[in-house]
Structure 1
Amino acid sequence: MSRHGASAWSRRTILEKLRQGDGHYDLVIIGGGITGAGILREAARIGLRVLLVEQRDFAWGASSRSSKMVHGGLRYLGSGHVGLTRDAVRERQRLLDEAPGLVEPLPFVWPHYRKQFPWPRIFGALLTVYDWMAGRRNHEYLKGERVLDWVPGLNRAGLYGGTRFGDAVTDDARLVLRVLHEGVEDGGDVLNYVRAERVIREEGRVTGLDIWDVAGDSRVSIKTDLVINATGAWTDELRAQCGASRTLRPLRGSHLVFPFWRLPVACTVSLFHPDDGRPVFVFPWEGVTVVGTTDLDHQADPQDEARIMPQEVDYLLAIVDRVFPYSGVGRSDVLACWAGVRPVVGGHSRDPSRENREHAIWDDGGLISVAGGKLTTFRPIALEVLEQSLPYLDTDVSAPTGGPVFDPVPPTSHRPKGISARQWRRLQGHYGGRLSEVLAAGPLEPVASTGTLWAELVWSARNENVEHLDDLLLRRTRLGLILPRGAEAILDRVQALCEPVLDWSSRRWGEERRRYLDLWRRAYSLPQAGDRT
């Protein structure tokens, strides 16, 4: 049980307190992605009374739809963004050390072909700097067909070697949730399905925030000294209330998911796409193989679920065919898709991939906004935002110094029978100090052919503010992305186990099932040929 108590994850309890006018917060964070979660964690750590609100579900936006890479951004080093790369490399190592099982090392292989950039010596020199930043050497040149030992099935035409180097991978949505749990442990409150509507000012100073409870269909006012806008692709919308001009360039990145047996890879394979020269990855994740990503201007309404477009499917299938020409993989093999919108601080580059990925912070008189940056660097971004926030707070706290993101996992019972060492490591990483609760929540058997346990669904349904079925199947777990047809075949058992703890009626379950499957078909399966956005 959390030191802060179960009520910190109870929407009903928190909203009732707010409706009664009981609860003045030092600051309110708008946005439940990795940036907002990181700020909550650091603010609660130094004793601030802090509330995080999210208009949809936690990690609903880019923070559940990323490329899952916790990396230093080798391409950014090549573009001269040394500071961004240095910070990211250091944070990558911190996360690997603090959260094994959640953030895991993953080898990368870059094959070298004749007359194709980058050449091994240039690439090796870049990696030497990369490894120096990390404080350890972790790359080697694979001469000739040695690269095939790492990547069987690789295109051999013109292949003369490859370079292996190291980075990391994560479940981005569970990373957000675990960071939120750490913030709640230290006293923070969190609310999903609550939309920020208006920043309240008196005599030029922020004094509160009006929010709309989407689930309860009611308006609530919150008293606070400071509002932090960490809404990613929606940042400009709230800043417009202060008269600020638009600064973000929303860019869509899309991915394809294949059964692992159909496209087996034991490492990340990366190569420049022949159409536009941007790096594309083929990598193992959660028992499947993922191919991504694209980088296109996103013109659709940000309130709608981002979805992959037909031209992006063709773009990603083209690189699969180039890298693995003997696989015969095609559209019929795709299990699922996902698309996310990156909140890139806009420039004027004709090529979206050349836009600066550094974060930016704006201070609009007590409304502090932050956008940009990388999944890997959420912690230093949070520390910088809080340092700029302290002058607005009527409280005597010191600037955060940045201790561990994750508290040490307390000793739990021995690994239960039937759970492999790999599953055990994953469970410890995903749930930290709540693991004993997870193990007691339900059956300790895997769901279908995945590494997810049924107990995980039951525990999340009871403890993590699941308001809709897609919360459970697309973010609390990733079953909707890694099982055929959005995991439709297991929904009856999900209902049997989770409906009682969700306190849903049979009618509500039926509505949620239809809603989820419709959403999956629209946004997470292959698009129709006529779709263009």
Structure 2
Amino acid sequence: MSRHAIWESLPHHLWDVIVIGGGITGAGVAREAVRRGLKTLLIEQTDYSWGTSSRSSKMVHGGLRYIAQGEVRLTWHSLTERERLLREAPGLVERMGYHYAHFKGVFPGRWPFALVVTAYDFLARVRDRRYFKPSVFLQRMPGYRSAGLTGATRYTDALTDDSRLVQRVLDEAVAEGLTLINYVKAADLAMAGSRVTGLHLEDTADGGRALVSARTVINATGAWADRLRRKLVDEVRVRPLRGSHLVFPRERLPLAEAVICHHPDDGRVMFIYPWEGRTMVGTTDLDHREDMDTEASIHADEVSYLLRGVNDKFPQAGLTTADVISTFSGVRPVVSAGDGSDPSKESRSHMAWDDHGLITVTGGKLTTFRLIALDALKLAEPYLDREIRDTGEAVFSAPQPGPAPAGMAADVFARLVARFGIRTRDFLAEMPAEELVPVAGTATLLAELRWACRHEQVVHLDDLLLRRVRLGILLPGGGLDAVPALDGILSGELGWTADRIADERVRYAGIWRRYYSLPAA
């Protein structure tokens, strides 16, 4: 169904659930709602995963430091969900070794850290921690700072492509009946007395307004959650925190696994890790006081901070701004304790509220999106006339993609299955064989761009290059000139004219320079 047809159909239904927000939490709510037979609509003000869920640190983890902060329950839930995702979405969620180096006279040493990691593994029901002597660790992490090094501990967590994770959850929900549309804003709440009965919608892509009715509305807008809730309750609960990252060419800092370390200035935890053939360095943790409708972007002091941190650990690398391929910043939706404490010490637990039929859920971690979704739906039970229980059903169905195409390498096929899941067979049936080739030295296939334009509601060029595929943060200049066939795909699949393509290229270049490159001097 075309986007126009979807929009025109919206007012003609009484929805059981309308989900506002196309990030991982909203996608999770929609997935759990439709599997229970609830007639569900998901709307997203910009693009799916536009906010936090395409700009995270890409980590599916339990949060080792949360144990030290006493949040054992959060850690346990996160580790349980981490293991679930590793089982259900292999390749999309991948186990990764994390190394923590120990130095003479620096806390925590080997044994205190081993105690925490032992508890971590116990909660996850795995055992994969190891200790390395300095010489062995330095073989694994060439160029790491060696002065005073006494050894290193390795444990495991996981990495993902956060934006593709959102898309796979949405694909599962659509297969069970979800209706979804992007670039649609919840302009206002529809009320019957004091009760929320629906939404006034605004189509920000093509124009138009509509009134839609629902038994309950679930506000899963993350860092933006207070905006709609404050129409009913004079309360601010979300503390938006900005986390920024630098992306480097792998050859400038080649890592096979991740390093967790402390920044030399303030002791904050940093991660240096491989992702999609690049090396990532992150993250900062700062109050974000800027316009929430404008994309978050890295500040000059954050660039300096991250460079100082990575060069302190890998002094031989001598990384500079000239090495940076791209940057990205996301805003975490942290539920504030209200005491103005250190941002890094705020809880990462989620919370949900029922305000006259508007269910607001925010906070939490990418890893626990399924549990967050279930808590939101449980709070909506009185409006849905049914009990919401955790049945333990898989988020992801078994893909059953059939055999790999003749001549396709096993790792390429596995990557396609990981990213497209239950749509893999359709992908291989529809996409031209000559486009099953990688783009510009990345693992992304040219056919992935065509598929996204055909099936994944691409409205603007940044939807395609920054979120459906990740060329925008993997290639210099946002990858704008790395795909010779791009214009042909845009015209053939989206019907864009030469003028529209030219306008979108200018628009995309501006977005990339302002929000995904280094800040202007």
TM-score by length of 2: 0.97
Structure-2 change in CA distance of 1:276 and 1:16 (3 Å): same
Where does the alignment leave 5 or more consecutive residues of structure 2 unmatched?
A: none
Alignment-derived partner of residue 212 in structure 1: 202
User: Match for 2:493 among 490, 494, 501?
Assistant: 501
Rounded to whole Å, the distance in 2 between the matches of 1:118 and 1:182 is 43
Alignment of 1:225-236 (within 5 A): 225-236=215-226
Give the structure 2 partner of residue 527 of structure 1: 519
SS in 2 for 1:356: coil
Cα drift, residue 198 of structure 1: 1.1
Give the total of aligned pairs: 517
**Partner Cα separation in structure 2 for residue 396 and residue 69 of structure 1:** 34
Deviations 1:374-426 (A, max 9, x none): 00000011111111111112x55654524100011114232441x33222222
Contact 2:248 2:280 in 1 (8 A): yes
Take 1:340 and 1:499, find their aligned partners in 2: how far apart are those partners?
31
Match of 1:318 in 2: 308
User: Letter of the aligned partner of 1:110 in structure 2?
Assistant: Y
Distance (whole Å) between structure 2 residues aligned to residue 414 and residue 287 of structure 1: 23
Cα distance in 2 for residues equivalent to 1:51 and 1:488: 33
Give runs of aligned pairs for residues 289-328 of structure 1, distance below 5 A: 289-328=279-318
8 Å contact 1:43–1:50 — kept in the other structure? yes
Contact 1:387 1:400 in 2 (8 A): no
Q: 2:415 aligns with which of 413, 422, 426?
A: 426
CA distance in 2, matches of 1:376, 1:398: 21
> SS in structure 2 opposite 1:26?
strand
Residue 52 in 1 paired to residue 20 in 2? no
Matched, 1:391 2:385: no
Task: Write out per-residue CA displacement over residues 167-199 of structure 1, whole angstroms, 9 at most, x where no aligned residue.
Answer: 100000000010011111111111100000111
1:301-380 correspondence runs (5 A): 301-347=291-337, 348-380=339-371
Give 1:453's aligned amino acid: L
Distance 2:114 2:133 in 1: 13
1:11 paired residue among 3, 9, 15: 3
CA distance in structure 2 between the aligned counterparts of 1:108 and 1:295, rounded to whole angstroms: 20
- SS of the residue aligned with 1:66? coil
CA distance in 1, matches of 2:245, 2:425: 34
Instruction: Tell me, in whole angstroms, the C-alpha distance in 2 between the residues paired with 1:318 and 1:117.
Output: 21
Q: Any conservation in 1 of the 2:401–2:425 contact (CA below 8 Å)?
A: no
State the SS of the aligned residue for 2:187: strand
Deviations 1:186-230 (A, max 9, x none): 111111000001111113222211110001111111011111000
TM-score by length of 1: 0.95
| Range moving further from structure 2, 331-340 or 273-282 | 273-282
SS of corresponding position for 1:145: helix
Report the Cα offset of residue 275 of structure 1. Answer: 1.4
**Where does residue 62 of structure 2 map in the other structure?**
72
Structure 1 Cα separation of the partners of residues 388 and 155 of structure 2: 40
Partner of 2:458: 466
Quick check: 2:48–2:182 contact (8 Å CA) kept in 1? yes
Q: Which amino acid aligns with 1:92?
A: R
CA offset digits 1:81-108 (Å, max 9, x no partner): 0010000000000000000110011111
Aligned to 2:157: 167
1:202 aligns with 2:192: yes
Q: Deviations over 1:235-278 (max 9, x none)?
A: 01001110331111110000000001111110011101111211
More divergent stretch after superposition (489-498 vs 348-357): 489-498
Unaligned runs of 5+ in 1: 1-6
1-side partners of 2:67 and 2:146: how far apart?
Answer: 29
Please report the RMSD computed on the Cα atoms of aligned residues, expressed in angstroms.
1.2
Q: Is the 8 A contact 1:17 1:23 kept in 2?
A: yes
**Aligned residue identity for 1:423:** V
Distance in 1 (alpha carbons) for counterparts of 2:388 and 2:259: 45
Alignment check: 8 A CA contact 2:138 2:144 kept: yes
Instruction: Describe the SS at the equivalent of 1:308.
Output: coil
| Structure 1 residues 403 and 380: CA distance shift in structure 2, 3 A | same
Instruction: Identify the residue that residue 3 of structure 1 maps to in structure 2.
Output: none
Q: Which residue of 2 is the match for residue 4 of structure 1?
A: none
| Residues 18 and 41 in structure 2, CA contact (< 8 A), matched pair in contact too | yes
Once the two structures are TM-superposed, the CA of residue 503 in structure 1 deviates from its matched residue by: 1.1
1:365, distance to aligned residue in structure 2 (A):
1.1
- What is the identity, as a one-letter code, of the residue corresponding to 2:411? R
The alpha-carbon deviation at position 158 of structure 1 amounts to 1.2
Residues 398/300 of structure 1: CA separation in 2 closer, same or farther (3 Å cut): closer
